[in-house]
Structure 1
Amino acid sequence: MWGKSTAAVFLGMPLAVLVTGFAALLSSDQANTTLPWLLVFFLIWIAVMTCTFLFKTGLRAWLWMGGLTVAGYAALHFLKASGLIRIAA
């Protein structure tokens, strides 16, 4: 139980930030869609933390969620470095 709980606490927020960030970046009108996605962020965070307890063991939760976090941020870095997405200032 401790393994799943710590995975939810430490990896839940980065995954929720990643999902929210991808959703906001992939929208066509970032100026009008960023705020609604930021408001939905808390619900996504709770959903990710809840899904952590569906894993059989804490190790699986850490490996899957950690792998998704690393892969997601690597993809985000690749998209930004290649110029496929641009962050509006």
Structure 2
Amino acid sequence: MNQARVRLESRHWFGKTCAGVVLGFGLALALSGLFAWLGPDGIGAGGGKNQFNMWLMAPIWAAVLSFVYLFRDSLRAWLWLGAANVAAFGMLALARWVMA
């Protein structure tokens, strides 16, 4: 039962990078939208909250892009980040439907 562990390889870097750029942007957008709807004072808050939401996207996107290289291969990165996007945009649609 002694199985060799799969090592992380650099040959999947292009697929992982594309997943982090494309799906990371979508995930950052959905999470920022969730904070806009569910955060303090809701969606109708003043300009300071809108500015904060705009600046919140960059660190989330950078974090996703940084951690995407921990996936074993690019297919797993695409699948997991795709599932995270579906979940985040689903929660955003639900929040908008409930709070509208």
TM-score category, normalised to shorter length:
0.7 to 0.9
Residue 14 (structure 1) shift: 0.4
Supply the RMSD in Å over aligned alpha carbons.
1.5
Question: Residues of 1 paired with 2:33 and 2:84: CA distance?
Answer: 14
Residue 36 (structure 1) shift: 1.4
Question: Residues of 2 paired with 1:61 and 1:76: CA distance?
Answer: 22
Give the percent of matched residue pairs that are identical in Structure 1 and Structure 2: 33
Q: Does 1:10 align with 2:32?
A: no
State the AA in 1 paired with 2:75: L
Question: Residues of 1 paired with 2:85 and 2:56: CA distance?
Answer: 19
Q: Does 1:85 align with 2:99?
A: yes
Q: Does 1:64 align with 2:76?
A: no
Contact 2:33 2:92 in 1 (8 A): no
Question: Residues of 2 paired with 1:27 and 1:47: CA distance?
Answer: 21
Residue 28 (structure 1) shift: 2.4
Residue 37 (structure 1) shift: 2.2
Structure showing greater Rg:
2
Q: How many equivalent residue pairs?
A: 84
| 1:14-53 deviations in Å (ceiling 9; x for gaps) | 0111111111211122324221121222122111111111
- Counterpart position of 1:21: 33
Unaligned runs of 5+ in 2: 1-12
Unaligned runs of 5+ in 1: none
Runs of 4+ in 1 over 3 A off after TM superposition: none
